[in-house]
Chain A
Amino acid sequence: MKVPAAGPSRTAFVTAADDLADRVLSALRGAENAPFLARHVEQAPDRGAALAAVRLVGADVFVPHLLAGFPLDGQDAAAVTRSLAVFPQEAVIAGAGDAGSAVAWRDWAVAELLTRFDGGRPAVPPGEEPAEDPAATGWRPWCARMAGLSPLAIAGLDGPVHQAARCGALPLSRGAARSMLRRDYLTAVRLIRWLAWLHHDGVPLPLDLEAALDHAVLLGGHGPRTALDIAVAERLLGRPDDAHRRR
């Protein structure tokens, strides 16, 4: 997994996020039982890094609940709430530079799913636009922003970001193809996940998504967080999440 700049906490957070993504993937495949999130944080050697990992993985911690009918345990909900309290949105946005709205929308997705599974008031969407019109800003920066919002590309979640994606099938396809040509498979897999969500939503696509996913998996499907993106994309395409291994 790429680290934007060297730093002990960043390295620890990325490692912890990979560990957590691995745990989420195991839960999705039925190899974990509740409360797997709370247990993961409790047993982590660095509990602060484990909570940071919950913030980094974001709405993807609910993938087993959304796609596999996994029950949300109260302790798991408490772990997610705790991560939001320990690393508040204002402080997190400060590190995101001009992409702060992406953090706000990722946090909205976490709050929305937490509310859905654990009860409480519905999450309030951020006031900012999720992503500018690709025709105005250009499809390349727009795709980079959508790649950062890939945890929102999951069945059962809908909102302004998803509406923007529905209007951007062609830019997303271009972005996925461009990322693969640049050998930036991390971004490619994230954009393919959005395209898989569009396919699941019934939007016609100008790209052979199965071939694109197979290509990205073969050349760049490394790392637990990418594996989680791939597993979600494969489920959205309606094929088993280990289909690529049997080919």
Chain B
Amino acid sequence: MLAQREIAGIGVGTDAADIGALMVEPETAISDAPVFTPNGALLLLAAVLLSPKGPKSR
């Protein structure tokens, strides 16, 4: 039976305090504004810079 088994290796004091801290999680910090994923701005810029030049008009 579960109740009769010894639970080895539990540091009750520290671990119980950790449980207490996790039980009363504070509000999360405010996050940044959402961005499109993937953020393609740098990729597009690199593609423009690395692309071959267009044919010269006569």
Contacts and interface: CB of A to CB of B under 8 A. Distances in A.
Interface of A: 2-5, 7, 9-10, 13-14, 17, 38, 41-42, 47-48, 51-52, 55-56, 58, 75, 78-79, 81-82, 86-88, 91-97, 99-100, 102-103, 106, 144, 147-148, 179, 182-184, 186-187
B12 to A, nearest CB: 6
A161 to B, nearest CB: 14
Kindly name the residue among B16, B20, B34 whose own CB sees the greatest number of chain A CB atoms within 10 A.
Answer: B20
Task: Please classify the interface of chain A as helix (H, G, I), strand (E, B), loop, or mixed, using the class held by over half of its residues.
Answer: helix
Count class of interface residues, chain B: 20 to 34
Contacts of A97: 20-21, 24
A56 B23 contact: yes
B21 A95 contact: yes
Interface of B: 1-3, 5, 7-28, 30-31, 34
A94 B17 contact: yes
Given A9-B15, A86-B12, A2 B25 contact: yes
Contacts of B18: 7, 9-10, 13, 52, 95
Contacts of B27: 144, 147, 179, 182, 184, 187
A87 B10 CA distance: 10
A176 to B, nearest CB: 12
